Amino acid sequence: MNKKAAKNNNPLNTAPWRYYLVLVIVALIYLSLMARTAYIQIIEPDMLKKQGDLRSLRVTANTVQRGSIFDRNGAELAISVPVETVWADPKIIMDNKALAMTEHWQALADVLDQDINKLTARVLKNPRKRFIYLERKISPAVANYVKELKIPGIHLRKESKRFYPAGEISAHIIGFTNVDDKGIEGIERIYDKQLTGTGGKKRFRKDAKGRKIEIISVEEAEQAQDITLSIDQRIQAIAYKELKGAVQAFKASSGSVVVVNVHTGEILAMTNSPSYNPNNRRNTAIHRFRNRAITDIYEPGSTMKPLTALTALDFGSVKANSIINTSPGWMRLGGRRVSDPRNRGKLSVEDILVTSSNVGTAKLALSVPKNYLLDKFFDAGFAETTGTDLVGESAGMMHDRSRWSKFELATLSFGYGLAITPMQLTRFYAALANGGIKRELSIVKRDKPAEGERIFSKENSLAIVNMLEAVVDDHVPRAKIDGYRVGGKTGTSFKAVAGGYGNDYVGLFAGMAPISNPEIVVVVVINDPGGDLYHGGEVAAPVFSRVMKGALQVLNIAPDAQKRQAANQVVKPAQAEKKIIAGEHNA
């Protein structure tokens, strides 16, 4: 055998290309593993981290119960109570063939007030899903019944449910939350963030046996805040009872009452009728949720006459004891007629308010410059919200235009040509009662009164207040309160319709007491009374009297009628200065 043949027969020398092929393959495998490792660890490491976290990382959360809402004296108006929610695990239900327990499912459907076919269809819709709600926030009794059914895959979880102890009495103030405890209306919506708070979280790792081995982070819970309102629930209950009775008795479509502390601007009561039960809102018409005291606007009618008289006093065109000639009981302005029911002749400023003379009020308005009159209406707040920050509050309608005819100014002076909310009317009368200082109103209890802005002179404001006492004494007997001096003004206005005015009315009364030192203002609006009685003095004044009387007694405000009698015995009435202004107007 030659050397060449021996070389070829050596197994180490056969097929060298195979050797190199193996080396290349090994190198490629090694390089691919290196590349994959680099890709996973450097370029895209999140996937492995996520999978690792799913196996070892856990998060526990503790929820914070929603804060409570109280009235100014600590009475509960909104609280959270513990309840339970029924939920299902469709996968467990299907794995255990639990749907075959037909009697149990029928019992579950009955107690949850649901149709059994719809209930089981929700489970069958996605049989591999791990969580679906069946019924949110059930009572403890229902929860115990569900627990006793022992249906595999049906579970309970603890939650809280909002409960409103005052019910429909304070519904428009408090509002309500949805099923997830998010504020939807009223105070619940305005202060939702403060009432909700923030739940705490703890992130940690566990080992294969479920033991905590590392706490990664801890987020402390931010406790929810409680809200204390300015409302006095005792006065609120009185106002609601009287208003509801009046709306029903006079067959009115709606009504509102607002009660305000004169010195602080705090709202002591604000109620509307019809109302609703916030604990059970099923089948409740949407319009019942509206807080009419701040959303609905009306032409205020004769309740504006004190503002016109005060404007004339502040400008100096008349004095408190001036006499105005209203003969012959009507006047023509630019082809339009302003009139009284009859010729009242010569009237003092007080008489104009007592008799509610349109002619006298129009002459007072025309005795001052146009811009001065309009500015006083704007100063009174009839084109702005009242500062409550309540959801949906209207700024009313007060035109800011350069051209006003004399007739438009005359009608404005007795409450037509503008539209305001009951809340705006309340703020004006509160400014009148406290000596001419306008304050923002508050639905939240204040530690100290708001600064306020002087818009009328103190002397003239108090003069008008005393005149309003004469209005009640001589003209509105239904507004009187035994033992107390009361002042106020009625209003009866036609409701505007497309193209003019219809045959429907709004009856109003706004007043304050006690006159010796006014503490409270009450405004009553009866919208669209359906019976034979519709004037403010007939439908709104009796409500004012009963609400004011209840508020004075609740707040323990002393009667002042005897003080007036004593003063009348000592002080002799001054002789009125007679002054004729603004002559007679002929057609």
6 token code pair = 């021996």
Q: Which SS3 state, helix, strand or coil, does residue 307 take?
A: helix
Neighbours of 203 (CB within 10 A): 16
Place of tokens 């100096």: 316
Place of tokens 């209003």: 491
Phi, psi of 176 (to 5 degrees): -165, 170
CB 190 within 8 A of CB 389: yes
In angstroms, the CA 198 to CA 88 distance is 27
CB 106 within 8 A of CB 113: no
Q: Considering only CA atoms, which of 387, 337, 357 is closest in space to residue 467? A: 357
Out of 80, 170, 275, 302, the active site residue is 302
Cis peptide before 274 (omega within 30 of 0): yes
Sign of CA dihedral 191, 193, 197, 199: positive
Q: Which SS3 state, helix, strand or coil, does residue 197 take?
A: coil
Phi, psi of 383 (to 5 degrees): -150, 20
245 token code pair = 């009775």
Q: For the stretch 12-33, what's the b/e string if a residue is b when 16 or more beta carbons lie within 10 angstroms of its beta carbon?
A: eeeeeeeeeeeeeeeeeeeeee
217 carries an active-site annotation: no
In angstroms, the CA 491 to CA 475 distance is 12
CA atoms in the 13 A half-sphere facing the CB of 52: 7
Catalytic positions are 302
